[in-house]
A and B are shown apart, each in its own frame.
Chain A
Amino acid sequence: AQSVTQLGSHVSVSEGALVLLRCNYSSSVPPYLFWYVQYPNQGLQLLLKYTSAATLVKGINDFEAEFKKSETSFHLTKPSAHMSDAAEYFCAVAYSGGYQKVTFGTGTKLQVIP
């Protein structure tokens, strides 16, 4: 069964510092991987997705993630945190035989300290 594990339910960074949110996946077939962001009282918005093209995926708002098959990881990074990045981030996985059933991780809440 497919699943994702997000390491760290809360992450705090200083404004301007590197953001690193960790995600490891478990899938018996090549996965599709996603990062979504959720602001308070809102639905989820896609940041980026990996669909077996380039292993380094660039998303919106300068976020990017690298697919590492050997480590079964898909960590999310951003070079310089902004206050507006404070939100909850979800890693998610799907696979081609899954009719778009997307399985989400438990989320990482990002706090940005001024």
Chain B
Amino acid sequence: DAGVTQSPTHLIKTRGQQVTLRCSPKSGHDTVSWYQQALGQGPQFIFQYYEEEERQRGNFPDRFSGHQFPNYSSELNVNALLLGDSALYLCASSLELSMGEKLFFGSGTQLSVL
């Protein structure tokens, strides 16, 4: 049973560009959350998708957007990249009906903005 998979593992972009990160949740999971982890910091909640809709959003600008597909996979898009967007982006999946159930994390996408 595959866990949470993210692609790509590493990415280098320049300021002003746009980037798309992808996530496939653990088999059977229907909820996907995205986190940004800056160097030396804890993960910061970006947003969460359930039933192909954004259900919750953290304190991130509209440059950050996402999508969830019918197969529960998800994309994170960041427009007009800034140097400060350089971070590890983590995807986590879970079951919507299992409050308190643990999040399963992927290994992340390391984004570097030059």
Contact = CB atoms under 8 A, between A and B. Distances in A.
Q: Do A and B come from one complex?
A: yes
Given A99-B55, A100-B96, A106 B41 contact: yes
A100 B31 contact: yes
B100 to A, nearest CB: 4
B43 A44 contact: yes
Interface residues of B, number: 28
A35 B71 CA distance: 29
B11 to A, nearest CB: 15
Nearest to A46: B102
Contacts of A107: 40-42
B99 interface: yes
Contacts of A42: 107-108
B56 interface: yes
A100 B94 contact: yes
Given A101-B56, A107-B42, A44 B94 contact: no
Given A43-B90, A99-B55, A99-B56, A104 B99 contact: no
Closest 3 interchain pairs by CB? A43-B105, A104-B42, A51-B100
12 contacts: A34-B102, A41-B107, A42-B108, A43-B4, A43-B108, A46-B103, A94-B99, A100-B33, A102-B45, A103-B45, A104-B35, A105-B42
